[in-house]
Structure 1
Amino acid sequence: MSNRSSYSETSNGARTHPDFKLGEFCIDEDRPMRVVVVGAGFSGIIAGIRFRQKMQNVDLTIYEKNAGVGGTWHSNKYPGLACDIPAHCYQLTFETKTDWSSFYAPGPEIRKYLEGVVDKYKLAPYLKLRHQLVHARYDEPSGRWLLRVRKTTITPEGEHTEEFDDAADFLFTGVGLISRWSWPEINGLKSFGGKLFHSANFDTGDQTWQEAAHEWSDKKVAVIGVGSSAIQIVPALQDKVKHLTNYVRGKTWLSTPFSGSKMAELAHRDPNTENYVFTEEDKKKFNDPEYYKHFRHDLEADVNSMHAATLRGSTMQEETRAAFKQSMQKKLAKKPWIADHLVPDFAVACRRLTPGPGYLEALCKDHVDFVTSHIKRITPTGIETADGKHTEFDIIICATGYDTSCQFEFPMIGRGGVLLQDKWRPHPETYLTICVDGFPNWFFSLGPNGCVGSGSLLIIMERQVAYAVQAAQKLQRERLKSIEAAPAAVRDFDQYLEHHFPKTVYSEQCRSWYKMGKDEGRVTGLYPGSSLHAVRALERPRWEDYTYERLDSVNRFYWLGDGQTYAEKTMTGDRKDFLFAWFDTGAWYLNDDEIDYPPVPEN
């Protein structure tokens, strides 16, 4: 808003402001900015690459609380850990891996892929491992985020922690919605005298789980849960222990392992497998760039084609439901009663869908039990169910999921001292899933409503990061103090979201982390649309949906600087060098990579 009384007129009638001065910088001389990224999983790694690629004069730091990169693929080490979407669709668009070992890649292979990306793009100098953000507050006078970071150092004498302060002009978090695991609320849980594990904290010391399992051949093991982790753990362990019991409270759909034309082609090559293992011949074909490009494109198109199945009453939903039910009943033919307790009444994809290779077959083994009776309590020697039956166990594995409350584990304070945890009660509201009103200069990936129930997740992460980079570029180029989603824009997006989900199967009654672990209510985990829809929504920022504060001047055109470009200002050398430099920079818009050649119409 302008204040007319603060302006004066010059002799020629022009208005001027007494506090305005031209900037002593060039229009393309970017101001220094400090960018802090929190998390070094997929999102944080992408951010580390893109902020460095797209911005100049940036001081970048990536804080990661774990001892290595990879996020969930670093912290999770449970038996059978694997990706539940095709491996060739679970990689970055710009960093191709052609030698995946299997259709659903094991966790360690994904982690190694991410470590390779970090090495290739030389992110190590920007990474601070074992550094955990413990407090964040937006400072309104400076327009910066004031951060408190806890550093953990491992020495021969033990673990040492210390805290220090940092500040950021721009904050990006890639910590995800389901990064904090929690023990189930079962009476007597901590009284158990045997080995007690959580799938998200499967600590076997210096051993891998495979090495530890060598000693379990005479053990009786209980696995509590029927989510994606339990569905991977049961088949991985069943042939390594004496007896295994799976305690299941709810129902879940297991998809057929190969859906879509490209996946069906793989199934045809080996009809007896549920997780196709790529042969050396396959990998040799993938070395052909054109062959691999078409293979990956077609496979990802298959993955992205399933959105219609998430719409209530759609033909694809009904066909998918019938196919999955038939597949599950067929695999459970040896113990058909399990299907009565496991095949859901709710729609396919109401809760997270997983292929679960080998899970149903494992349940049919003679030494595997499937128990649906409610767990009353855990005793020092085993588990007692509501029907009064007590079973002794040597090992109990809780595959019971994460904290899905959408609450950060550290205080995050925005304008006016507003605590994000309070603002996001009873549920979070965001702008396009990437930022929040009242919390300027902060963008995030995989936050509330930032995931997808079908389609490619990694392209969403890439586009969320790309959007954040554009916001940081705008701050830098226009020398703004803050950029912040307007409250009205957040309300409008929330209204759209609330009207979208009743059309989908996600709003049906089923317990899911999509709804903060509840049977029904607000959908907080998923984007309101397909993955392709999200890509389109995020590709062109609507800057009119934001409010801004200027950093240095009352004049909105202060960023124009001194009227020249950096190349013009800094050119030096003799005449020959001068002409060469001028050719290269004085008409850069004529360079081949700058010219936008329009296609010539054929008719």
Structure 2
Amino acid sequence: MAERSALGTAVIGAGIAGIGMGAQLKRAGRHDFLIFERADDLGGTWRDNSYPGVACDIPSRLYSYSFRPKQHWSRRFAPGAEILEYLRDTAQAEGLAPHLRLGETLTSARWDDESGCWRLTTPRGEYSARALVMAAGRLSEPKTPGIPGLETFPGRAFHSARWDHAPLDGLRVGIVGTGASAVQLVPEVAKVAASVTVFQRTPAWVLPRGDRALAPGEPQPDRAALSAEAEQLFDSRLSGSPELAALRAKAETHLRAHVADPRLRAELTPDYELGCKRAVFSDDYFTALQRPNVTLEPSALTTVDGTTAVAASGARYELDVLVFATGFETTRPPFARLVTGRDGETLAAHWADGMTSHASTVVHGFPNLFVLDGPNAALGHHSAFEVIEAQLGYVLGALERLDATDAPLEVTADAEAAYSAEIDRLAARTVWVTGGCSSWYRDEASGRLTLLWPARVSEFRDRYGTFDPAPFAQPIPQEVRA
């Protein structure tokens, strides 16, 4: 297999982070990069999730690149197809087409200490790159539970992120899960299906959405004001705060206003603190659950026997379709198995006890590697674009540093350990750790908060939006190495 041309930067993934990285590389005058995307189209999460009702739960105005704001959104909370169109338009406007390698999957990336570069392998060839940017995201690998007997189910069974667009009209549909995807798709499926059974292992806190159409020519909401409002929401993620109590009261009021039946209301009331798991937003989920063709099963799906789905309660349901709205592989990203660092250690092995990093972007033992939207880089109160854009600035600064020296950049083990300790200290005050639940925000082995940045996003931008060489091992001068 012949090696293709050497690259300055290889970017893995063409979702929000990968497209943003490509745009900023191009704007910085760096044209020696490629963006590898395993799918046949760009868009990441918004390409993969096409289920009925899919939409953003962050105000549209905040859900775009600050360097390329969309002038008009159709709704206060943008539909998924509109976000995907925005990402495609951005890639075109930023001139990324020549740099995209769609349908080309990374199969391995290995650091070569002798040449000081990454050796990449795909089914189409081999590449070398001075810097490697992992932009594969945290919502790219669907998680489907191992349900005994599922192989005997004769109907259609699929994950919400791999939506089967064949009609559901007149069919008996089971939906497993009650998280962010489920609360969006249940009301839509209920409009056409003969019956819908929602399997609820754990109820979600539901907050009112307040969505509405934005008329053409209507002034768009002020981005700065929306950002400030979102930033203030962080206080409602602090354990015992009055802001958290007020938000919980808002969710309880929303539930009481829409569910009169005390039994159903009790089944929909979580036994953990609001925000411990991801809070969801909907104006019509509770209403949909009370339709005559919808049944809330307040226990998990445990087994399948042919067309019969059996719940933990012992209840049995005859189904034609099973939809798994059961989330993603978040704390143990599959791409980590493909990346091998300086000492032959894979990123997955390095993260065996949970993801760690420095600045949520760089990892000891993996020179010139930058992970976007990875360890502690997600937000529980604001737009994903905020941290991603800060990371893009960090990577650009690191590349400038690489230009100025002939030595690889590797963050020290001490810096990574100190950052992890700080994350733990900040996380200890939040509902994500103290709220009495298990969630995809925390590593299943260590219990550490490994997905979310546990402070205000302005703090992340101020501290890690630019590159600081201090936490990196100092390069050995050329004359000493000679």
Establish whether TM, by shorter chain, passes 0.5: yes
- Could you tell me whether the CA contact under 8 Å between 1:482 and 1:548 is conserved in 2? no
Q: Does 1:147 align with 2:127?
A: no
> What SS does the aligned partner of 1:455 have?
coil
Q: Does 1:73 align with 2:34?
A: no
Distance in 1 separating the partners of 2:133 and 2:153: 41
Q: Which amino acid aligns with 2:9?
A: V
- Could you tell me whether the CA contact under 8 Å between 2:390 and 2:466 is conserved in 1? no
Residue matched to 1:554? 479
Encode CA deviations 1:391-422: one digit per residue, 9 max, x unaligned. Answer: 11111111111113323344211111112111
When normalised by structure 1's length, the TM-score is 0.76
> What SS does the aligned partner of 2:158 have?
strand
Q: Which amino acid aligns with 2:78?
A: A
> What's the offset of the Cα at 1:550?
5.5
**1:49 aligned residue (23, 44, 48):** 23
Residue matched to 2:13? 39
**Two-structure CA RMSD over aligned residues (Å):** 1.9
Q: Which amino acid aligns with 1:222?
A: G
Q: Does 1:95 align with 2:68?
A: yes
Encode CA deviations 1:575-595: one digit per residue, 9 max, x unaligned. Answer: xxxxxxxxxxxxxxxxxxxxx
- Could you tell me whether the CA contact under 8 Å between 1:482 and 1:550 is conserved in 2? no
**1:82 aligned residue (36, 51, 55):** 55
Residue matched to 1:242? 194
Distance in 2 separating the partners of 1:75 and 1:543: 37
Identify unmatched segments of 5+ residues in structure 1: 1-31, 151-162, 205-211, 258-273, 287-291, 559-603
> What SS does the aligned partner of 2:415 have?
helix
- Could you tell me whether the CA contact under 8 Å between 1:64 and 1:132 is conserved in 2? yes
- Map of 1:203-242 to 2, 5 A cutoff? 203-204=164-165, 212-213=166-167, 216-242=168-194
Q: Does 1:188 align with 2:187?
A: no
Residue matched to 2:139? 178
Residues 394, 492 of structure 1: CA spacing in aligned structure 2 closer, same or farther, 3 A cutoff?
Answer: same
Bigger Rg over Cα: 1
Give identity over the alignment, percent.
Answer: 29
Encode CA deviations 1:269-327: one digit per residue, 9 max, x unaligned. Answer: xxxxx4211123xxx143xxxxx5x7222122212220100001111001111111111
Q: What is the count of residue pairs matched by the alignment? A: 475
Where in structure 1 do 4 or more consecutive aligned residues deviate above 4 Å? none
Distance in 1 separating the partners of 2:331 and 2:190: 33
- Could you tell me whether the CA contact under 8 Å between 2:331 and 2:355 is conserved in 1? no
- Could you tell me whether the CA contact under 8 Å between 1:406 and 1:448 is conserved in 2? no
- Could you tell me whether the CA contact under 8 Å between 1:351 and 1:512 is conserved in 2? yes
Q: Which amino acid aligns with 1:237?
A: V
Distance in 2 separating the partners of 1:295 and 1:310: 24
Distance in 1 separating the partners of 2:369 and 2:222: 38
Identify unmatched segments of 5+ residues in structure 2: 1-5
Distance in 2 separating the partners of 1:493 and 1:393: 49
- Map of 1:534-545 to 2, 5 A cutoff? 534-545=460-471
Q: Which amino acid aligns with 2:46?
A: W
Residue matched to 1:341? 267
- Could you tell me whether the CA contact under 8 Å between 1:480 and 1:548 is conserved in 2? no
Encode CA deviations 1:533-565: one digit per residue, 9 max, x unaligned. Answer: 1111213432111014369x3279x9xxxxxxx
**1:406 aligned residue (320, 329, 332):** 332
- Map of 1:495-534 to 2, 5 A cutoff? 495-507=421-433, 508-516=435-443, 521-534=447-460
Q: Does 1:377 align with 2:303?
A: yes
Residues 99, 517 of structure 1: CA spacing in aligned structure 2 closer, same or farther, 3 A cutoff?
Answer: farther
Distance in 2 separating the partners of 1:427 and 1:364: 40
When normalised by structure 2's length, the TM-score is 0.94
Residue matched to 2:230? 303
Encode CA deviations 1:324-343: one digit per residue, 9 max, x unaligned. Answer: 1111121112x332221222
- Could you tell me whether the CA contact under 8 Å between 1:456 and 1:531 is conserved in 2? no
Residue matched to 2:257? 330
**2:212 aligned residue (271, 276, 290):** 276
Residues 63, 435 of structure 1: CA spacing in aligned structure 2 closer, same or farther, 3 A cutoff?
Answer: same
